[in-house]
Amino acid sequence: MAGRPLVPCLVLAAALAVPAVAAARPFRGTVGPGATISLKRADGSDLRHASPGERRFAIYDQTSLHNFHLFGPGVSKKTGIDFVGSRTWKVTLRVGTYKFRCDVHPKMMRGSFMVS
């Protein structure tokens, strides 16, 4: 009988750990090679919706012809157009629409996601 109070504590600890693990996995932004840009979840699916809070973005800029620009409520982060390499950004997402694009080709290379 002494072990019974331990079970609810373990269930509660696991429930609290799930959001922390999810927040630890970064979103993956990629620009290039060629005229491509994307933003995906850790599982490879397109990012269309996220919850508010601090998140990490792992950005992989694979071309010196384009850049990756993330912007939305309180956020404007970008790689340089000549930059090739990776960056990790900590971003606090707030409710609203976030967009990402290549500043050289903003009408062709773009995307967005909602935070609510």
Task: Report the C-alpha gap between 65 and 35 in whole angstroms.
Answer: 9
Instruction: Name the one residue in this structure whose structure tokens are 């840009």.
Output: 37
Segment 4-9 shows an average pLDDT of 54
The residue type at 53:
G
d(CA 19, CA 4): 25
Question: Tell me, what amino acid is at 63?
Answer: T
Q: Kindly calculate the radius of gyration of the chain based on its CA atoms and give it in whole angstroms.
A: 18
Residue 21 has what pLDDT? 47
pTM to 2 decimal places: 0.80
pLDDT tens per residue across span 24-81: 789 999 999 999 999 999 999 999 999 999 999 999 999 999 999 999 999 999 999 9
Model confidence at 18, in pLDDT bands (50, 70, 90)? very low
- Which of helix, strand or coil describes residue 67? coil
